[in-house]
Amino acid sequence: MFELVANLHMHTPYSDGFGSHAEIAQAAIRAGIDVVIVTDHNVLVAGPEEIYRDGDRRVLLLVGEEVHDQARQPQKNHLLVFGANREMANYASDPQFLIESVRQAEGYSFIAHPVDPAAPAFHEPDISWVNWDIQGYTGIELWNGMSEFKSLLKSRLHAIYYAFNPRRVAHGPFIETLRRWDELLSAGKKIAVIGGSDAHAFQARMGPLHRILFPYEFHFHAINTHILTPQPLNGDLYTDRQLVHNALAIGRAYIGYDLPAPTRGFRFTAQGKDQIAWMGETISSRFGVTFQIRLPRPAECLLIKNGKVIKTWLKRENCTYITSESGAYRVEVYLPFLGKRRGWIFSNPIYLE
Ligand SMILES: [Zn+2]
Ligand SMILES: [Zn+2]
């Protein structure tokens, strides 16, 4: 398997972001990112989808869409749509119909910022997902960089502090989001996860101060989705796009918070009698399965089955666990960074049947 670092969920001036597709591509190349997916609100801007190059470095820039019902107050239920072959914004008023339409358009859908608390000091409403009776979506955006920032905005002073100390913002996905995901997994559903930066490069003015809040390049060093593909990217837009979409759709990926330390090289596999399963895949538990976890450096590693921690390793790089019990197994890894325990890696599940 080959590993690609992808940064997902960002906005341009086609909705409420401040940088162009070309500027995003340049920032991604500088940061060493392989793939970005731009998702403007309620508009599919397909034209800029291409491979951008700078010397011998390149980035695959794909375009999706973040769809929500603009007539709804407050404007909850945001859905990230990747790979659809047409505009989906017209279906926003009915989330279930929207999800089905995405599938018919050969796309797949992730619930964006499932928990997104209000920030009353800035008159920002709660825009969480609320229609949980839906079926047939691909997955959820487990960790969203901007929702976490919003959750810290208790006052203007807090906002200034975190705007100037962006490295102190991220701690991990919200507990409520993790719990929701584990409930779905425990009920036997297959739900893939991604991490999203929700980058806007907002321009902030505070008196004489002018600052870009969270430039794209900052996000590209922070919450990334690392994708595993059977072949490397080969520079052909159509094939490369397909490789990325196929991996995201099944969840052959993990979320890596690359700011404290690079997460590249993390692996979580299950070895069965005559099969090996990667994240997002299903394997028979009948003859027993050995999980193998490899960390890029020693850290606190948790193996979780249907929402329950079944094993914890401290300061280890290689962890193994043998079982013959069915269920959805996933991994969380934590590191100390800037005086706090912070989420570092969140894997997609391996399903044992
Ligand atoms: Zn949103
Ligand atoms: Zn967004």
What pLDDT, in 10s, does the model give residues 98-145? Answer: 999 999 999 999 999 999 999 988 889 999 999 999 999 999 999 999
107 CA to middle of ligand 2, Å?
A: 18
Predicted pLDDT at 209: 67
8 CA to middle of ligand 2, Å?
A: 10
213 CA to middle of ligand 2, Å?
A: 15
Q: Which of 188, 105, 108, 119 is nearest to 141 (CA)?
A: 108
Instruction: Quote the percentage of the chain above a pLDDT of 90.
Output: 91
Q: Which ligand is nearest to the CA of 70?
A: 1
Give CA–CA dist 252/83, Å, rounded.
16
Does residue 210 carry a pLDDT above 80? no
Does residue 205 carry a pLDDT above 80? no
110 CA to middle of ligand 1, Å?
A: 11
In this structure, the strands spanning 276-277 and 267-271 are: antiparallel
In this structure, the strands spanning 139-144 and 108-111 are: parallel
150 CA to middle of ligand 2, Å?
A: 13
Give CA–CA dist 21/272, Å, rounded.
44
Q: Which ligand is nearest to the CA of 67?
A: 1
Contact 144, 198 (CB under 8 A): yes
What percent of the chain is helix, strand and coil (3-state, nearest 5)? 20, 40, 40
User: Residue 150 is encoded by which pair of tokens?
Assistant: 């919003």
Each residue's pLDDT tens digit, 246-277: 999 999 999 999 999 999 999 999 999 999 99
User: Residue 199 is encoded by which pair of tokens?
Assistant: 């980058």
Contact 283, 190 (CB under 8 A): no
Q: Dump the DSSP string for 283-328.
A: E--TT-EEEEEEEEEEEEEEEEETTEEEEEEEEEEEEEEEE---EE
Which residues lie near ion ligand 1 (Cβ < 5 Å)? 78, 112
Residues 6+ apart with CB under 8 A from 38: 10, 11, 12, 21, 24, 45, 48, 61, 62, 63, 64
Does residue 204 carry a pLDDT above 80? no
Please classify residue 51 by burial: count the beta carbons closer than 10 Å to its beta carbon, then call 0-12 exposed, 13-18 middle and 19+ buried: middle
324 CA to middle of ligand 1, Å?
A: 40
31 CA to middle of ligand 1, Å?
A: 24
Q: Which ligand is nearest to the CA of 128?
A: 1
7 CA to middle of ligand 2, Å?
A: 13
Does residue 151 carry a pLDDT above 80? yes
Predicted pLDDT at 115: 97
Contact 112, 66 (CB under 8 A): yes
User: Residue 11 is encoded by which pair of tokens?
Assistant: 């906005």
Each residue's pLDDT tens digit, 276-305: 999 999 999 999 999 999 999 999 999 999
- pLDDT averaged over the chain? 96
Q: Which ligand is nearest to the CA of 127?
A: 1
Does residue 321 carry a pLDDT above 70? yes
Residue matched to tokens 């047939």: 136
Contact 31, 57 (CB under 8 A): no
Predicted pLDDT at 193: 98
Predicted pLDDT at 145: 93
Pick left, alpha or beta for residue 30 (phi over 0 → left; psi -120 to 50 → alpha; otherwise beta). alpha
List the end-to-end C-alpha distance of the chain, in Å, as a whole number: 23
- DSSP lists the bridge partners of residue 38 as 63
113 CA to middle of ligand 1, Å?
A: 7
**DSSP letter, residue 263:** -
Q: Which of 207-211, 245-249, 272-276, 336-340 has the lowest mean pLDDT?
A: 207-211
334 CA to middle of ligand 1, Å?
A: 26
Average pLDDT, integer, range 313-339:
97
Beta-sheet strands, E only, within 55-186: 57-67, 79-82, 108-111, 139-144
Q: Which ligand is nearest to the CA of 112?
A: 1
Q: Which ligand is nearest to the CA of 79?
A: 1
Each residue's pLDDT tens digit, 163-189: 889 999 999 999 999 999 999 999 999
Give CA–CA dist 329/81, Å, rounded.
26
